[in-house]
């Protein structure tokens, strides 16, 4: 398949995740560390099954790859914890806009770390996409500087660093096998640093929460695989990352069509059109 088809699959699968995470973290009994443990634990199991069925798990890590694995381990653990904490403090629309800043970090990282050819048009296209997202989902006149905002911005940066390290490793590594590491490394780190997190897993024994976290984990694992395969095919992180931001607009459009959410409809339509313009600039 072409890298564009992989990206389309990733966007469609990722589009439901933010809403489900928000539903889970809104409950007073939810815990960001427990959610990270369950989310990545299930994702790792799914990725491991896929790796084995595709020919086996690649466990060997070269000396060149090891530093990037260490960086990936640190930021793959930090990112979801920061993100889930932000969901407990700020509105979903505000968090989504702030998380989108990850795409700009990714574009610059692709030029500086992955040594892709610099393109001013891609930078402008990324900024246009982020602006379109802000138009579509912003519900406030201004952002308030608080703990939730800081969590969200740090989460966006952490996700970007983890993705850049992952893309570097993917130049010579099996995609499902890397997903296993990405999922299980945060689980191991959390169990070592916060073993009492296990006592909070009972929250996910309720059927509705178990179903939600299972769907999120499956969607996220398959979507991540699609993005990683896209990079292996195209070697173009500066295009892939901004295009993945369109998942937010897709979520907005699906909410209009399926859930009949017609509030701020003009903003949503205008934002979607601006995002399309940004996509055309990147492509």
The per-residue pLDDT for range 22-68, each reduced to its tens digit, is 666 666 677 878 888 998 999 999 999 999 999 889 988 999 999 99
Mean pLDDT for the stretch of residues 248-266: 73
Supply the pTM of this predicted model.
0.85
Both tokens of residue 122? 């891609």
C-alpha dihedral, 139 to 26 to 247 to 240, nearest 10°:
110
Both tokens of residue 255? 């909410």
Tell me what pLDDT residue 255 has. Answer: 67
Res. 108 pLDDT band, cuts 50 70 90: very high
- Is the pLDDT higher at 225 or at 186? 225
- Is the pLDDT higher at 264 or at 189? 189
Q: Which of 135-144, 184-193, 212-221, 272-281 is predicted least confidently?
A: 135-144
């Amino acid at each position: 398949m072409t890298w564009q088809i992989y990206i389309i699959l990733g966007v469609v699968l990722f589009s439901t995740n933010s809403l489900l995470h928000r539903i889970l973290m809104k409950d007073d009994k939810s815990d960001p560390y427990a959610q990270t443990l369950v989310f990545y634990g299930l994702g790792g199991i799914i990725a491991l099954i896929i790796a084995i069925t595709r020919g086996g798990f690649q466990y060997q890590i070269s000396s060149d790859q090891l530093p990037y694995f260490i960086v990936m381990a640190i930021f793959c653990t930090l990112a979801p914890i920061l993100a889930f904490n932000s969901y407990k403090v700020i509105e979903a629309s505000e968090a989504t806009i702030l998380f989108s800043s990850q795409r700009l970090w990714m574009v610059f990282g692709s030029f500086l770390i992955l040594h892709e050819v610099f393109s001013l048009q891609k930078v402008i296209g990324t900024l246009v996409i982020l602006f379109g997202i802000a138009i579509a989902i912003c519900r406030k006149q201004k952002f308030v500087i608080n703990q939730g905002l800081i969590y969200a911005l740090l989460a966006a940066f952490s996700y970007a660093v983890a993705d850049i390290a992952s893309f570097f490793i993917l130049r010579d590594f099996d995609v499902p096998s890397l997903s296993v590491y990405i999922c299980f490394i945060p689980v191991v780190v959390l169990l070592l640093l916060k073993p009492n997190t296990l006592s909070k897993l009972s929250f996910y024994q309720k059927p509705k929460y178990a179903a939600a976290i299972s769907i999120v984990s499956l969607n996220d694992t398959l979507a991540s695989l699609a993005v990683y395969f896209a990079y292996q095919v195209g070697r173009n992180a500066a295009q892939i990352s901004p295009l993945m931001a369109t998942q937010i607009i897709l979520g907005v459009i699906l909410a209009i069509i399926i859930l009949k959410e017609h509030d701020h409809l003009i903003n949503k339509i205008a934002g979607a059109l601006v995002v399309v313009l940004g996509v055309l600039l990147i492509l």
